Amino acid sequence: MWPRAPLQPLDWYDQPFYLGIAYDLRHSGRFTDGYMFAKPEEDGQRPSGMRFAPLYPLMLAGAAALDPGFAAAMDCEVEGEGQNAACSRAAPLARGVQFGMLAGFFLLLWWMGGAVSGSAAVAWTALLLGLATGPVLLRSVNYLMTETTSLFLVTGATAAAIAATRARRPSLGMLGAGMLLGLTALTRPAFLYLFLAAVATGACLAVRRRAMIPALLTFALGFALPVAPWGIRNWLVLGRPALTFGYDSHTLVQRISFNAMTWREYALSYLCWLPDGTGMGEALVGPRACDRFGWNERPDTFYSIGQGALMRDTLAASGGFDHHLGYLLHHYVLAAPVKHALVTIPMALRGAWVDHYWGFVLAPVCAAFTIGAVRRRDARFLILALPAWFMLLFNAAVAVNQVRYNLMLIPPFAIAGGLALGTLLARRRRAQLATR
């Protein structure tokens, strides 16, 4: 199917963010904020920056060093600032690496299905269910954005943590899990909060089970190994020992704009964000009923307001990006926590419908198995599912949540589906035997 997937221009969506940084890495040796967020200084080069995490631009820069056609396409895109329609779309090496990551992801999904269930049949069923999302994931392969890389890395981290539960020395597996999660955070910084949540959960469990402490410490060490150099660089070069700066409040203000919806619009959001898009909302309420939930199609959409007027007003009131995040949290989130939490619910559902009705059907199945795993204290299924549920809620609370942010739901959804089908078949066999 991959050769038939369309190649879109390199200026679509967020691709220019990463191409701009990769271009500057190649031509000036600096990690910058890219041409869309920074202008050249007196020396003609853009200043050092930390708005985006470094791993994916570094991968693109490496691919361009080995692929002259992609290097020319990148130069054309950046030097024309996305306005040159004649730029090539060629990036065979970068897309080939992402296709390899996708193949690795499905291999890990198959392995985790067997490790969690103890059944080869469930593993193969989960793989077949997961492969149904192939067309959606192939689109991510062809876009030069972080989704495929982060999905592969976080799935590897999950698999390493599950493997640690099967090992005599779990600390080694947890070291690998921490390193892979650290690399994921260097791809998409939101995964820093998954690390913090995992450490907090592990610390609470370690109070009763002190044998967990070495594994927890090696997990934290593994995370720090890839992340610390980037944090130290940011501290020495930019005076900020952090993963990123500026992009967190940029995404949060877009999300906060949805808190202004009326209660009628709030109820409507559950219809407008169903897997069929706006169809159900318009069918039950009327034409154009879902328009305000769109993107930039009109100036009064919540997203347009968050990107425009609300962004300008809050930046001016806070005095710039240095204080923007704190201002938003104090004046918008903490000032109306109930409304923010309530809006997070449909926003989370919006991001859970992976591949439309595939996710719509399997999400409640996975939720039921997660609740059952909590009751049974099934550590392997919880390691598989809880991080994905956490990131779904986190993305819904801090960003304009989208399915592409939550592709890590695919393994727990698919494996839960495999377990459910296995359970149904086992019951059917028992019923058939009972009637003989």
pLDDT in tens, 171-193: 889 999 999 999 999 999 999 99
List 274's β-bridge partners, or say none.
277
What is the reported pLDDT for 433? 80
What is the reported pLDDT for 207? 80
Which range, of 2-11, 338-347, 392-401, averages the lowest pLDDT? 2-11
Which of the two residues, 114 and 85, has the higher pLDDT score? 114
What is the phi/psi pair of residue 399, to 5°?
Answer: -145, 165
What is the reported pLDDT for 434? 78
What is the reported pLDDT for 1? 86
**Number of Cβ atoms within 10 Å of the Cβ of 331:** 14
Which of the two residues, 135 and 208, has the higher pLDDT score? 135
Average pLDDT of the residues in 89-96: 95
The pLDDT tens digits of the residues spanning 235-269 come to 999 999 999 998 899 999 999 999 999 999 999 99
Average pLDDT of the residues in 6-14: 89
What is the reported pLDDT for 147? 96
Which range, of 103-107, 112-116, 359-363, 432-436, averages the lowest pLDDT? 432-436
Q: Cα 309 from chain centroid?
A: 27
Which of the two residues, 117 and 286, has the higher pLDDT score? 117
Region class of 52: left (phi > 0), else alpha (psi between -120 and 50), else beta: beta
Average pLDDT of the residues in 83-92: 91
3-class SS at 218?
helix
3-class SS at 273?
coil
For residue 197, pLDDT beyond 90 = yes
Read off the pLDDT band of 6 (50, 70, 90). Answer: confident
Read off the pLDDT band of 298 (50, 70, 90). Answer: confident
Whose tokens are 């997961």? That residue is: 130
Which range, of 92-101, 239-248, 413-422, averages the lowest pLDDT? 239-248
Query: Is the distance from CB of 228 to CB of 182 less than 8 angstroms?
Result: no
Cα–Cα distance measured from residue 311 to residue 300, given in angstroms and rounded to the nearest whole number:
14
Q: Give the start-to-end residue ranges of the domains of the chain.
A: 2-90, 247-335
Query: Is the distance from CB of 407 to CB of 354 less than 8 angstroms?
Result: yes
* Averaged pLDDT of the chain: 93
What is the reported pLDDT for 429? 84
Alpha-carbon distances of 2 from 11, 70, 102, 138, 385, rounded to whole Å: 21, 19, 11, 6, 29
| Interior angle at CA 294, CA 341 and CA 190, nearest 5 | 50
Cα–Cα distance measured from residue 223 to residue 180, given in angstroms and rounded to the nearest whole number:
7
- Spell out the alpha helix ranges (H) of 300-356: 302-307, 309-318, 321-328, 337-352
**In this structure, which amino acid lies at residue 245?**
F
The pLDDT tens digits of the residues spanning 216-234 come to 999 999 999 999 999 999 9
The pLDDT tens digits of the residues spanning 57-68 come to 999 999 999 999
What is the reported pLDDT for 48? 95
The pLDDT tens digits of the residues spanning 104-162 come to 999 999 999 999 999 999 999 999 999 999 999 999 999 999 999 999 999 999 999 99
Read off the pLDDT band of 42 (50, 70, 90). Answer: confident
What is the reported pLDDT for 402? 92
Q: Which of 77, 80, 81 minimizes the C-alpha distance to 37?
A: 81
Q: Cα 223 from chain centroid?
A: 18
Read off the pLDDT band of 210 (50, 70, 90). Answer: confident
For residue 430, pLDDT beyond 90 = no
